[in-house]
Structure 1
Amino acid sequence: MNIAIIKYNAGNIRSVSFALERLGYKPIITGDHDTIRKADKVIFPGVGEASTTMAFLKQNGLHELIPSLTQPVLGICLGLQLMCKYSEEGDTECLGIFNAPVKKFIPLKDVSPKQKIPHMGWNNLTHVKSPLFNPELEGEFVYFVHSYYVPTGAETIAQANYIHPFSAALQKDNFFATQFHPEKSGSVGEQILKNFLSLK
């Protein structure tokens, strides 16, 4: 199986590659358009800031390539947010694959203890659906690090709750995305990656 990890100016790409290698695969980290188009699966990971990252994608034509892909695509963390319509981070127009906004977490007033931003650490998944998740993953814990979130909506395929419910994962057609980091989520994350790689 050919797995392409999209190379761009974002962190965390290597950890995704290592996670796939632990599962027995040899992914290619690349920004080459033809290689990405020909891959069986594409992963769009990321840790970084939305506006500068979108600027890089545009400079390299990836803003047009990614939405045009027809094979299964998995966005992770910033990858999920950039696949949405708009992000409050840097007042950024994003790729528009998901018809959803990305909003900044605002701590609730008069709540003790005060919620910290970013939301960092383990949180459980609820309302899981789609081939990305086994039913038994309902309630399991995965690892998050983010200051921005996507509200729940029609494209939500898993939820988590921090300050309020938000989309832990999204799906539209062949595009899947997780706000959490499956590559840092132990055996649960491994199962989710396996599920993605088994998609047709």
Structure 2
Amino acid sequence: MELTVLSKKVVVFDYGFGNIRSAERALARVGAEVEITRDFDKAMNADGLLVPGVGAFAACMQGLRAARGDWVVDRRLSGGRPVLGICVGMQILFARGIEHGVAAEGLDEWPGTVEPLQADVVPHMGWNTVDAPADSELFAGLDADARFYFVHSYAVHDWALESHNPLIAAPKVTWSTHGKPFVAAVENGALWATQFHPEKSGDAGAQLLTNWIGTL
């Protein structure tokens, strides 16, 4: 697979949670200039910011706040500057997460609750397809049967945010199914996110990252 060479600066935000080296390699593969850092100014000034995440929702939020990542995300989005969240880095963008019956506050960029997967087998681990909107920019150039790599026990099952202003594009929501359907990706202005790991999803993931960087 030939990938378009891109020359955009992307910061992978290092707040102690996430497969940052895998993300770095995947972004470099598609031609981005990548830096792993928690430096506030570098994160603010990059063309794109990638927020990874693995582990527990509450712990990720605690780590993000300790590194001022909540400020970085908020300030970037206030200025219309692109942010991509991956796995728990997507989950913490929602209003709250519930793990083991305990609720924790998220960044509240989107309404909704991250809750346990409603499936016979948990975690959801391995390759799965997604159902993306026809006009998705994130999944442009990818076949409908493209598969992505998931590792998670929690997800958002209900999408609550819609746009009633004809001048503002409604968020584009992509779904997948493991037991009950769940949100697999979101495109909402400058804020995009995936529940799966594009950095572990081979050529399909590389095309998706190429698509994101192409919008920076």
TM-score normalised over the length of structure 1: 0.90
Alignment match of 2:185 (pick from 148, 156, 169): 169
Contact 2:93 2:109 in 1 (8 A): yes
- Tell me the distance in 1 between the aligned counterparts of 2:85 and 2:113: 15
Q: CA deviation at 1:5?
A: 0.5
Q: CA deviation at 1:96?
A: 0.8
In the TM superposition, 1:77-96 aligns within 5 A as 77-89=87-99, 90-96=102-108
- Tell me the distance in 2 between the aligned counterparts of 1:11 and 1:37: 19
Contact 1:125 1:137 in 2 (8 A): no
Matched, 1:185 2:201: yes
Contact 2:138 2:187 in 1 (8 A): no
Contact 1:170 1:176 in 2 (8 A): yes
Matched, 1:199 2:215: yes
- Tell me the distance in 2 between the aligned counterparts of 1:11 and 1:127: 25
Q: CA deviation at 1:37?
A: 0.7
Q: Secondary structure at the match of 1:161?
A: strand
Contact 2:142 2:207 in 1 (8 A): no
- Tell me the distance in 2 between the aligned counterparts of 1:28 and 1:118: 31
Alignment match of 1:122 (pick from 124, 127, 133): 127
TM-score normalised over the length of structure 2: 0.84
Contact 2:94 2:112 in 1 (8 A): yes
Contact 2:87 2:195 in 1 (8 A): yes
- Tell me the percent identity: 35
In the TM superposition, 1:1-200 aligns within 5 A as 1-69=8-76, 70-89=80-99, 90-107=102-119, 115-128=120-133, 129-134=135-140, 136-153=142-159, 154=162, 155=171, 157-200=173-216
Q: Which has the higher contact order (CA 8 A, sep 6+)?
A: 2
Q: Secondary structure at the match of 1:116?
A: coil
Alignment length, in residue pairs? 193
- Tell me the distance in 2 between the aligned counterparts of 1:134 and 1:24: 18
Q: Secondary structure at the match of 2:36?
A: strand
Which stretch shifts more, 53-62 or 5-14? Answer: 53-62
Q: Which amino acid aligns with 1:119?
A: H
* Unmatched runs of 5 consecutive residues or more in structure 1: 108-114
* Unmatched runs of 5 consecutive residues or more in structure 2: 1-7, 163-170
Q: CA deviation at 1:158?
A: 1.1
Q: Secondary structure at the match of 1:85?
A: strand
- Considering only aligned residues, what root-mean-square deviation do their CA atoms show, in Å? 1.6
- Tell me the distance in 1 between the aligned counterparts of 2:177 and 2:67: 36
Which stretch shifts more, 52-61 or 119-128? Answer: 52-61
Contact 1:156 1:167 in 2 (8 A): no
Contact 2:40 2:72 in 1 (8 A): yes
